Amino acid sequence: MKVQMVDGFEIELYVYEPRSEVRTRGVIQLVHGSCEHAKRYDAFIHYLVELGYVVYANDHRGHGESVTHPEDYGYFGEMNGWFDMVDDLKTINDLIHAQHPDLPIVMLGHSMGSFLARHYAIDYGETINGLILTGTAHQPTYQLKLGKFAARLIKRIKGPRYRSPLIYQLSYGAFNRNIKGAKTSSDWICYDEAVVREFCEDSKCGFVFTTAGFEDLFTGLLYMTNPDHIKRMPHDLPVLILSGEDDPVGGYGKMVLKSYEAMKEAGVRDIEYTLYPKMRHEILNEKEKDTVYCKITTWLDEAI
């Protein structure tokens, strides 16, 4: 269904409810990654619903069914698009609180969704009862500033909807470099070739961000990795970080550990992480995903 945001923009929102005979345990607000859409999480969503969780999942601006024109894929707005997406999550969270006032809410973000969720926890952490991050990272500030400068410069020259091959190769294009015998440009997302094939064949996946979209992304990354900002996260918010050891987005574990350490140093007390061997970026889609599902289930039982 379409839901209107505070600025009038309409995004697609999916709501999944457990069967009436299943005890409702809580709400999962799912935040999908970049260059994909919420429907890719159907298997995981139905797993959660069977356990008794209500799931709210939206397609971000510039993604999935929230796009009305093809040129808008990877475009969040001419200015402040990242902050608009964070505010979209707040609008959905307000809706959840209104419809389920007595249920705990856990936000689960993957990849770019984990970056949005971390930003959300900084600004609105008191509105959720837990935070799960998969495929996250904590990049060096100088890299993010350089990326933002390049995106802003090319945007001024080529326009906000231009898709820069240079910025793509320096960011997403780099993820496949260490994949031996790669058959596609997206092999880095998963070991399961069927998942990669479905991703490549999905017309709503794998697009290149616009220059405005890349500027927004780097702006958001700079915001949520700022130590002064991280300190504003509720220190008692339970946080679970999960990633694959072979995930290039997380620097093969190094930037995942940096994420954990940054939040720990900022005062977040209830936080843990797990790195899964022989898993790449989409740990919720790997053949051994049941291990990840079980970990999330156990953590949810303890956290809420």
pLDDT digits (tens, 9 = 90+) for 175-192: 999 998 899 999 999 999
Query: How would you list the strands of the sheet with 239-244, edge to edge?
Result: 2-4, 10-16, 53-58, 26-31, 105-110, 130-134, 239-244, 271-276
Tell whether the model's pLDDT for residue 21 goes beyond 90.
no
pLDDT at position 32 is 98
Q: Which residues contact 5 (CB under 8 A, 6 or more apart)?
A: 11, 84, 87, 88, 91
- Domains assigned to the chain: 2-138+227-303 (3.40.50.1820)
- Written as six digits, the tokens of 21 are 């005979």
Q: Assign 216 to helix, strand or coil.
A: helix
Tell whether the model's pLDDT for residue 78 goes beyond 90.
no
Residue given tokens 């090319």 in the structure block = 154
What's the whole-model pTM score?
0.97
Residue 90 CB neighbour total at 10 angstroms: 15
- CB of 249 within 8 A of CB of 281? yes
**Checking phi first, is residue 240 left (phi over 0); if not, alpha (psi -120 to 50) or beta?**
beta
Of 78, 74, 85, residue with least CA distance to 115: 85
Q: SS3 letters for 24-77?
A: CCEEEEEECCCCCCHHHHHHHHHHHHHHCEEEEEECCCCCHHHCCCHHHCCCCC
Residue given tokens 């971390």 in the structure block = 118
Residue 148's identity, in one-letter code, is: K
Residue given tokens 């500033």 in the structure block = 145
Average confidence (pLDDT) over 208-225: 98
pLDDT digits (tens, 9 = 90+) for 52-66: 999 999 999 999 999
pLDDT band at 304 (very low <50, low <70, confident <90, very high): confident
